Chain A
């Protein structure tokens, strides 16, 4: 029976659920803390037991991305692949790939300096949403509704001057109900979807206290999710959609190391079990 390795840096309920399901299916599991793992250009497949397939579950995006590259270097199949993690970790890359693949996605504008960001916003008009190109849990995502607030936020970005702060990602504000949809895909299957309702503010992230409610699967939702998954390279993904009152469903994000404890509370299917089943399809014969 193939052995499943779960690479983590903070053992959360999700990682324990994956381990539990793999064990119930009769597979040996390895729980590997990325923080205490050493790999080099000289490393060989047999040096450390990574099992037959790795499910990369680091909460730190860059840690997960880099250890995935190392694991692929030594020949271990990793879910998700480095290419997919790289694409999903950067909102600009994701938006470009979604658009290129014909997936309905909000209009998104890019600028590469604060001056040009202001010029762009003045041209597009308010309201508009500013997002960091790299970031999760809704951090740094802000609705811009007037010039004063916008100038203050852009000034703050300049002061912080992080490596990605000079990349401006500006997205049209979608006219939608106060909720969005999170669907989880594994390969060619959409496992489940839920509505995430906002707590009276702009954001709907479960990590921020958004309230999960099961969303019935429709053919349109399923097709869109699979198309979005394919656009970034496939794997185990969290697809975020909004219900645009004019255009219908639009995909605004694809998440790599998907969190699922909220959806697992309401889903009909066993999410961690479906994830493990998909991971096992990636074991090299």
Chain B
């Protein structure tokens, strides 16, 4: 899986689930796993931290 920002390789753990966040090891961009079917994984840019985030 390649980073949508810098094209570096992103390692998505095999047990990662839809909705989890993965980060690019090179540019640090965060992506959310939007679809996962077997080895096929789709990423979308993760939401940035909102003012109302937290407990």
Q: A residues engaging B (CB < 8 A)?
A: 8-11, 15-16, 31, 33, 35, 59-63, 134-137, 139, 162, 207, 238, 255-259
Contacts and interface: CB of A to CB of B under 8 A. Distances in A.
B10 to A, nearest CB: 17
B50 to A, nearest CB: 5
Given A60-B53, A135-B51, A238-B55, 6 more contacts: A10-B19, A31-B18, A33-B18, A33-B19, A134-B52, A255-B55
Interface string B38-52: 000000001100111
B18 A258 contact: no
A61 B53 contact: yes
B26 interface: no
Contacts of B18: 11, 31, 33
Interface in B1-55: 17-21, 32, 46-47, 50-55
- Point out which of B47, B51, B54, B55 has the most chain A C-beta atoms below 10 A from its C-beta: B55
Contact of B52 (A62, A238, A255): A62
A109 B34 CA distance: 45
A31 B17 contact: yes
A61 B54 contact: yes
